[in-house]
Each structure stands twice: as C-alpha cells, then as structure tokens.
C-alpha cells in the first residue's frame, strides 16, 4: 500500500446482525496522509472492540504497507491501546476529549453540569500543557467542593493520553483532540442502521457502511496547515504546539529507521 500515514482515528460502530443477541462491532480506521488528505483505510467486522479484533485490523494494514501513524486518536477503549502496543508500538495515543467530557459529566449532578462543562472546555481548549494542567486543577477544586469525588478522579485518568496532542503542531490540535472525524460520517450511518433495524448478516452491514463511508470520504476536509504534515511524519519535535529542537526520542526513532 505504501501509505505515509501521519494521524489515524479509530472507532467502532455496533449493529445488530442475524440472530445474535449482542451487537457486532465494525472497526473503522480513518487516516490523514502527509499531504493533509484523509482516507478510509479499514471497515472490518470484529468481536466487539477487543484487542484481538483490533490487532487483526492493524496487522492487515501493516501487511498492506501502512507505516506506524505518529498519533492514533480513539475514545479510550482498552482493546485498541493494547493492539496498538503490539502492532505499532512506535505510535502514540490520544484519547477523545468529547468522550472523556461525557464520562466526567456523568459523575456530576444534573444541576451542576452546565458549569462543569464550561470548566472542562477550558481544560480541553487550553493553549499549552501547563495551562491545561492549571485548568484541570481548577475543575478538580470546584468538583471537590461539591463532593463530586468521582469527577475529580476521572479527569486524572490517563492524563498523558488526554494531552498527547500538545506534542504536535498547534495548527492540528482541532483535529487531534477528538474522534469527530470518524463520528461525523457515522451520523448518517447510524441513521441508516437504525432504520433497517437489524441486518440478516454482518457482511451486509459491513458492505453498506463501507459504501456510506466511501461517499463521506469525498467530502473529508484536509488537515489544516498541511505543509506541516511532512515535518510530523519525519518526527519533528513539538512542545505546546511549537516546533522545538529534537528530543532523544525523535533522534532515536530516525536512527532506527
């Protein structure tokens, strides 16, 4: 395949098929190439979003020639992180902020959710890692004062992956904070799947969703500042979104390849 993939967004969509009681997972991979364009790379059926299912998808892409993406964005399912460590250990992970915000808001009283959401947005959209940490501390103080202890703890969970985007160009942050690139075309997909109630076979769901995503692919917007994609692919070092002298990790990676 010979693809130079810089970023990849992964997600699963669940559909009913046949007489199975559980929904089947369709595992989707959308990538951004070094010219800034986006492309659907995989739509494969799997057992939920297990490590084994994701490993199969990633190994197939690797066999077809796909390089390790610099950053993979997901909703935080453990299966993809374990599979990524096995197949593309060079790749970093970024958890979707939209999913995390919903999880945290579930720990807050309904009355307090609007205020909590505003505080969380300040964390999500902070323009540096240090400011994100400061905004997180502000939210935790607010939540602790209102006895929302689970919210205090949850925002700390996997903080490194929540802020991985800070090590990439600031012009790309809007693309990297969430898995919306996958979820947006899924909106029409989910409408179709709900309307059809249940597929007779999972192959039918896979075929239809693949076609819908291929149509959506024609309207994918390019990554902002596409001229920076080649630098990211070459493992240029960034701190708080600004290019900086290479660190040991980027030097070691370039020597290895």
**Band of residue 1 on the pLDDT scale cut at 50, 70, 90:** very low
**Band of residue 3 on the pLDDT scale cut at 50, 70, 90:** low
Q: Per DSSP, what are the bridge partners of residue 237?
A: 244
**Band of residue 78 on the pLDDT scale cut at 50, 70, 90:** confident
Instruction: Note the pTM of the prediction, 2 decimals.
Output: 0.85
- Helix intervals (H) in 31-169: 51-63, 78-87, 97-105, 113-124, 129-145, 149-154, 159-162
Residue, of 25 and 196, whose pLDDT is higher:
25
Structure token pair of residue 106:
């579930």
Q: Taking 50 as the threshold, does the pLDDT of residue 255 lie above it?
A: no
Structure token pair of residue 159:
């903080």
pLDDT digits 0-9 by tens, 54-74: 999 999 999 999 999 999 999
Taking alpha carbons only, the member of 249, 230, 226 closest to residue 239 is 249
Residues 234, 230: Cα–Cα separation, whole Å? 6
Average pLDDT for 240-246 = 89
Query: What 8-state DSSP symbol labels residue 49?
Result: T
Helices 202-217, 180-195: inter-axial angle, 10-degree rounding: 130
Average pLDDT for 119-124 = 98
pLDDT digits 0-9 by tens, 204-240: 666 667 777 776 677 788 999 999 999 999 999 999 9
Residues 159, 175: Cα–Cα separation, whole Å? 18
Phi-psi region of 18 (alpha: psi -120 to 50; beta: other; left: phi over 0): left
Residue, of 68 and 50, whose pLDDT is higher:
68
**Predicted local distance difference test score (pLDDT) of residue 180:** 80
Q: Taking 90 as the threshold, does the pLDDT of residue 92 lie above it?
A: yes
Q: Taking 50 as the threshold, does the pLDDT of residue 154 lie above it?
A: yes
CATH number of 5-95+178-224: 3.30.420
Distance from CA of residue 257 to its chain's centroid? 25
Residues 8, 27: Cα–Cα separation, whole Å? 13
Residue 3 to residues 6, 58, 61, 180, Cα–Cα distance (Å): 9, 14, 10, 22
User: pLDDT exceeding 90 applies to what percent of the chain?
Assistant: 63
**Predicted local distance difference test score (pLDDT) of residue 108:** 97
**Predicted local distance difference test score (pLDDT) of residue 195:** 45
Q: Which long-range contacts (CB under 8 A, 24 or more apart) does 46-51 make?
A: 46/12, 48/12, 48/22, 48/79, 49/12, 49/25, 49/77, 49/79, 49/80, 50/79, 51/78, 51/79, 51/82, 51/83, 51/86
Residues 28, 54: Cα–Cα separation, whole Å? 10
Instruction: Round the average pLDDT of the chain to a whole number and report it.
Output: 85
């Amino acid at each position: 395949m010979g693809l130079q993939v810089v970023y990849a967004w992964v997600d699963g969509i669940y559909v009913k098929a046949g007489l199975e009681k559980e929904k089947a997972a369709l595992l989707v991979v959308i990538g951004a190439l070094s010219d800034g364009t986006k492309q659907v790379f995989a739509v494969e059926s799997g057992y939920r979003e297990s490590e084994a299912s994701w490993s199969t998808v990633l190994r197939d892409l690797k066999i077809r020639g796909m390089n390790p993406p610099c950053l993979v964005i997901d909703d935080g399912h453990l299966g993809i992180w374990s599979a990524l460590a096995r197949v593309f250990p060079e790749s970093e992970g970024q958890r979707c902020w939209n999913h995390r915000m919903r999880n945290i808001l579930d720990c807050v009283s309904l009355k307090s959710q609007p205020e909590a959401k505003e505080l969380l947005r300040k964390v999500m959209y902070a323009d540096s890692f240090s400011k994100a940490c400061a905004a997180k501390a502000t939210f935790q103080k607010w939540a602790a004062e209102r006895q929302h202890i689970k919210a205090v703890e949850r925002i700390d969970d996997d903080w490194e992956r929540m802020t991985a985007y800070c090590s990439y160009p600031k012009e790309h942050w809007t693309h990297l904070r969430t898995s919306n690139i996958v979820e947006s075309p899924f909106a029409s997909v989910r409408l179709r799947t709900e309307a059809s109630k249940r597929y007779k076979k999972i192959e039918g769901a896979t075929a239809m969703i693949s076609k819908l995503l291929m149509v959506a692919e024609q309207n994918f917007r390019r990554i902002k500042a596409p001229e920076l994609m080649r630098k990211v692919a070459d493992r240029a070092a960034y701190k708080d979104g600004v290019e900086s002298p290479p660190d040991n990790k980027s030097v070691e990676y370039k020597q290895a390849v």
